[in-house]
């Protein structure tokens, strides 16, 4: 069974990637999904002023889990098995590559990043993954 990584950032583009995967499942593809959210590392100010650094980690983890919920609900309703991971780091593309490796995914399906240039370019994370990922990547645009 194939395993597909879907990065989730709470954007309509990320949910478009989930819908694309569900279309593939509807056409007979058997797969398991890995949902991943990458949270930014705490700023130096947050680290210095936090009474307990573990609080910052819990807050970021909770925020990531909240962003994963709509994707989880869509996959669960369709009966698609999934795993999830929230990662805290400063470099999103590398964190997603690490998740892909840890989970042994066969492909990445992700939403096209929003940018000031609109439809003319991929988002920077999408572009970084296209350049560096050892597995096929499908970039999905939200229908608007």
Q: With contact defined as beta carbons under 8 Å apart, do 119 and 141 qualify?
A: yes
Angle at 88 between CA 84 and CA 125, to 5 degrees: 85
Helix, coil or strand: residue 85: strand
Residue 41 has pLDDT above 50, yes or no: yes
Nearest-angstrom CA–CA distance, 115 and 123? 6
pLDDT at 59: 66
* Lowest-pLDDT choice from 4-8, 112-116, 117-121, 125-129: 117-121
Q: How confident is the model at residue 116 (pLDDT cuts 50, 70, 90)?
A: very low
Residue 102 has pLDDT above 90, yes or no: yes
In the predicted model, what is the mean pLDDT of residues 109-134? 73
Model pLDDT for residues 17-27, shown as the tens digit of each residue: 999 999 999 99
In the predicted model, what is the mean pLDDT of residues 93-117? 86
- Which superfamily does CATH assign the domain made up of 2-140 to? HUPs (3.40.50.620)
């Amino acid at each position: 069974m194939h395993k597909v990584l879907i990065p989730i950032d709470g954007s309509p583009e990320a949910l478009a990637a989930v819908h694309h995967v569900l279309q593939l499942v509807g056409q007979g593809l058997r797969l398991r999904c890995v949902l991943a959210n990458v949270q930014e590392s705490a700023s130096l100010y947050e680290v210095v002023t936090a009474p307990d650094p573990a609080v910052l980690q819990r807050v970021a983890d909770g925020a990531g889990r909240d962003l994963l919920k709509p994707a989880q609900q869509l996959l669960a309703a369709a009966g698609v098995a999934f795993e999830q991971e929230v990662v805290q780091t400063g470099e999103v593309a590398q964190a997603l590559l690490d998740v892909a490796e840890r989970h042994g995914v066969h492909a990445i399906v992700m939403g096209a990043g929003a940018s000031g240039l609109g439809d003319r370019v991929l988002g920077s994370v999408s572009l970084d993954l296209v350049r560096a990922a050892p597995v096929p990547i499908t970039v999905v645009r939200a229908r608007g």
